[in-house]
């Protein structure tokens, strides 16, 4: 495990397209084995979080992320989880393990598999968890951490929640954006 911080993709960037296999298709009423950016075109805001099954940083925020997704769903905010870790070297992050984790934790959001790692690269994701918020036009308006909580320490600053509230109420985010911190994405080795 190598502690890594978000690279803070430039605000104003367009959301890169994706179409990825879904590990928990029962989470929504859509048909088919994949979910793509276009499937969420009607959402007022889209939260894309790069995450995985084995990272202790993800485990530390997972329940709070689930609660946030449930809280903001009625406000037309769609959360999408994406796992881009190399499943060959990290089988605990493979598709079947993702499906098990999503079921065990009751993810209220789609959990997608990025085998090629192209989606993580397109978004500029480097760690798990790594959060990206896009407005209704799919323009990046927030990138950073969920909150300031750590293992053994409760959160006192709820950055992502505050950002979503501001976006939905005023159309812009004025709060400081602090990089997320977590395990580095486990990139596939290239020859």
**pLDDT value at position 189?**
77
pLDDT at 151 over 80: no
Q: Rounded to an integer, what distance in angstroms lies between the CA atom of residue 175 and that of residue 162?
A: 8
**pLDDT value at position 191?**
40
- 75-110 pLDDT per residue, tens: 999 999 999 999 999 999 999 999 999 999 999 999
Three-state SS string across 117-170, please?
CHHHHHHCCCEECEEEEECCCCEEEEEECCCCCECCECCCCCHHHHHHHHHHHH
Model's pTM, two decimal places? Answer: 0.94
Q: Rounded to an integer, what distance in angstroms lies between the CA atom of residue 120 and that of residue 128?
A: 11
**pLDDT value at position 153?**
73
Domain range 3-184, CATH architecture:
3-Layer(aba) Sandwich (3.40)
Q: For the residues 53-67, what does the mean pLDDT come to?
A: 91
In Å, what is the CA distance from 125 to each residue of 10, 33, 65, 191? 12, 24, 17, 22
- Cα 165 to the center of its chain, rounded Å: 18
In Å, what is the CA distance from 183 to each residue of 71, 79, 86, 126? 26, 20, 13, 8
Residue whose C-alpha is closest to residue 85's, from 149, 129, 32, 29: 129
Q: Rounded to an integer, what distance in angstroms lies between the CA atom of residue 187 and that of residue 63?
A: 26
- 163-188 pLDDT per residue, tens: 999 999 999 898 889 888 788 889 89
Domain boundaries, the chain: 3-184
**pLDDT value at position 6?**
61
**pLDDT value at position 190?**
60
- Segments in 11-73 forming alpha helices (H): 56-72
**pLDDT value at position 2?**
65
User: Mean pLDDT score of the chain, rounded to an integer?
Assistant: 91
- 113-125 pLDDT per residue, tens: 999 999 999 999 9
Work out the pLDDT band at 4, boundaries 50, 70, 90. Answer: low
Cβ partners under 8 Å of residue 3, min gap 6: 181, 182, 183, 184
pLDDT at 1 over 60: no
Cβ partners under 8 Å of residue 154, min gap 6: none
């Amino acid at each position: 495990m190598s502690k890594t911080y978000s690279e803070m993709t430039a605000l104003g960037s367009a959301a890169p397209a994706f179409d990825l296999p879904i590990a928990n298709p029962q989470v929504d009423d859509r048909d088919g084995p994949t979910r793509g950016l276009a499937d969420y075109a009607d959402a007022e805001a889209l939260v894309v979080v790069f995450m995985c099954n084995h990272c202790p940083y993800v485990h530390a925020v997972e329940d709070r992320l689930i609660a946030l997704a449930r809280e903001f769903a009625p406000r037309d905010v769609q959360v999408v989880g994406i796992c881009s870790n190399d499943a060959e070297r990290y089988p605990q992050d493979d598709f079947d393990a993702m499906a098990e984790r999503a079921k065990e934790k009751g993810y209220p959001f789609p959990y997608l598999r990025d085998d090629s790692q192209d989606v993580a690269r397109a978004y500029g994701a480097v760690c798990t968890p790594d959060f990206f918020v896009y407005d209704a036009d799919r323009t990046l308006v927030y990138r950073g951490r969920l909150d300031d909580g750590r293992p053994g320490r409760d959160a006192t600053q709820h950055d992502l929640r505050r950002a979503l509230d501001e976006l939905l109420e005023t159309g812009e985010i004025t709060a400081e954006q602090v990089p997320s911190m977590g395990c580095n994405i486990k990139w596939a080795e290239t020859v």
